[in-house]
Amino acid sequence: MLSFIARRLIFSAFVVIGVLTLVFVSLHLAPGDPIDMLISPEGGGRAGPEIIAQLRSKYGLDQPLIVQYLNYLGNVLQLDLGTSIRNGRPVLQEVLRLYPATFELTLASLFVAALLGTLTGVLAALHKGGFVDHLSMTLALLGVSLPHFLLGLLLMLVFSLQLGWLPPSGREAGFGWESLKHLIMPAATLGVATTAIIGRLVRSSMLDVLKEDYVRTASAKGVHRRAVVMRHAFRNALIPLVTVLGLEFGVLLSGAVIAESIFAWPGLGRYLILGINGRDFPVVQGAVIFIATTFVLVNLVVDILYSFLDPRVQYA
Give pLDDT tens digits along the chain (316 positions): 677 777 778 888 888 888 888 888 888 887 767 776 666 644 445 556 677 777 777 777 777 888 888 888 888 888 888 888 777 788 888 888 888 888 888 888 888 888 888 888 878 877 777 777 788 777 777 777 777 778 878 888 888 788 878 877 766 555 555 677 778 888 888 888 788 888 888 788 777 776 666 666 666 666 666 666 666 566 666 777 777 777 778 778 777 777 787 887 788 888 888 888 878 888 888 888 888 888 888 878 877 776 666 655 555 5
**DSSP letter (8 states) at residue 83:** B
> pLDDT of 160-173, one tens digit each?
788 878 877 766 55
Task: Please provide residue 63's backbone torsions phi and psi, each rounded to the nearest 5 degrees.
Answer: -90, 160
- Looking at the structure, do residues 46 and 97 belong to the same domain, yes or no? no
Residue 82 lies in a domain: yes
pTM of the entire structure?
Answer: 0.74
Name the residue among 308, 186, 195, 306 with its Cα closest to residue 255: 186
Helical H segments across the chain, by residue range: 2-29, 34-39, 49-58, 65-77, 91-126, 131-145, 148-155, 177-210, 213-220, 225-227, 235-236, 238-263, 268-277, 281-309
Residue 315 lies in a domain: no
Half-sphere exposure of 264 (CA within 13 A, CB side): 8
91, 120, 138: which is the final residue of a domain?
91
Alpha-carbon span 212 to 77, nearest angstrom: 50
Structural domain for 69, as ranges: 2-91
Name the residue among 159, 176, 172 with its Cα closest to residue 265: 172
The confidence score (pLDDT) of residue 43 equals: 45
- Looking at the structure, do residues 101 and 83 belong to the same domain, yes or no? no
Question: Helix, strand or coil for residue 90?
Answer: strand
- Looking at the structure, do residues 133 and 6 belong to the same domain, yes or no? no
> pLDDT of 178-206, one tens digit each?
677 778 888 888 888 788 888 888 788 77
- Looking at the structure, do residues 68 and 112 belong to the same domain, yes or no? no
64, 91, 118: which is the final residue of a domain?
91
Task: Please provide residue 141's backbone torsions phi and psi, each rounded to the nearest 5 degrees.
Answer: -65, -40
91, 118, 151: which is the final residue of a domain?
91
